[in-house]
Amino acid sequence: MTWRRHLVHAVPTQHTVPVADAVAEETELAELVRGARYVLLDFDGPICRLFAVRRAQDIARAQVEWLDRQGLGSILSETEREDPDPHTTLRLLAEQRRGSDLVVEMEKRLTAEELGAVGTAWPTPYADPLIRTWSAVGVRLAITTNNAPEAAGRYVENRGLSDCFHRHIYGRTQDLELLKPHPHCLHRALNAMGADPAAALMIGDATTDLVAAEAAGVPFLGYARSEHKEAALRSAGAKHVIDSLEPLLTVLRTRP
């Protein structure tokens, strides 16, 4: 097994990491994976790249322009305008205009974008076999996402993975204050599966996933497909970060 290739260490130059530390991290990670009886997966990132064709940032920019047309551009800071994120923008609008039709409309537009993107989403390498293997060895799986649950449901159906999740797909609700980092969708998944948080594992690619997992008492494994994402997860306190799902599959296939 070649864990070390896939582990993303806190120190940028991997070869400078003491071998003993790297081995200890590999062992901890294998234990984390083998100890998980429930796995909560974020959708966009660990399962697929939803906006593979039209980038999430393009959608966020369209949201900013839409807000400007509504005369509400001032709810965003300069940073949020320059590097917008669809869910952050939606949450900010929800905070500023609680219960308004504008919030409902922006959420509907985002849901339509997400549903439209399902057909062109790129599967994350090793995600499909990993999900099937986890399901086959009796681990209960759920999706805990800030995306519309309809989009995640349609994607797993298209991939023939619906049976692996047994309808445990928990996404954005009308109450946008409950988006991650709020642990609401994790709580829903844990409650529905009757899961002890300590026996679960959350895999996510954003700091909001990490914060939500910590709030729910669920161990966290970061998946970072870029150095930028890795740095964000590490600086937020993620202990384990991988840049490929392949080693997780290897651990499951070599289960004692």
Q: Which residues bind Mg ion (CB under 5 A)?
A: 42, 44-45, 205-206
For Mg ion, the closer CB: 190 or 224: 224
With vertex at residue 229, the alpha carbon angle to CA 39 and CA 128, rounded to the nearest 5 degrees, is: 40
CB 27 within 8 A of CB 3: no
**Sign of the four-CA dihedral 240, 243, 245, 251:** negative
For Mg ion, the closer CB: 161 or 233: 233
For Mg ion, the closer CB: 33 or 232: 232
3-class DSSP assignment, residue 200? strand
* Shortest CB 198 distance to Mg ion, Å: 23
For Mg ion, the closer CB: 38 or 223: 223
* Shortest CB 18 distance to Mg ion, Å: 31
Q: Report how far residue 32's alpha carbon sits from residue 13's, in angstroms, rounded to the nearest whole number.
A: 24
* Shortest CB 166 distance to Mg ion, Å: 22
Nearest residue by C-beta to Mg ion? 45
The values of phi and psi at residue 67, to 5°, are -60, -45
For Mg ion, the closer CB: 3 or 234: 234
For Mg ion, the closer CB: 4 or 58: 58
Closest C-alpha among 145, 140, 148 to residue 164: 140
Two tokens, residue 70: 């509504």
* Shortest CB 88 distance to Mg ion, Å: 13
* Shortest CB 21 distance to Mg ion, Å: 28
* Shortest CB 2 distance to Mg ion, Å: 26
The values of phi and psi at residue 142, to 5°, are -140, 155
Collect contacts of 99-108 with beta carbons under 8 A, ≥24 apart: 102/70, 102/72, 103/176, 104/174, 106/63, 106/66, 107/172, 107/174, 107/176
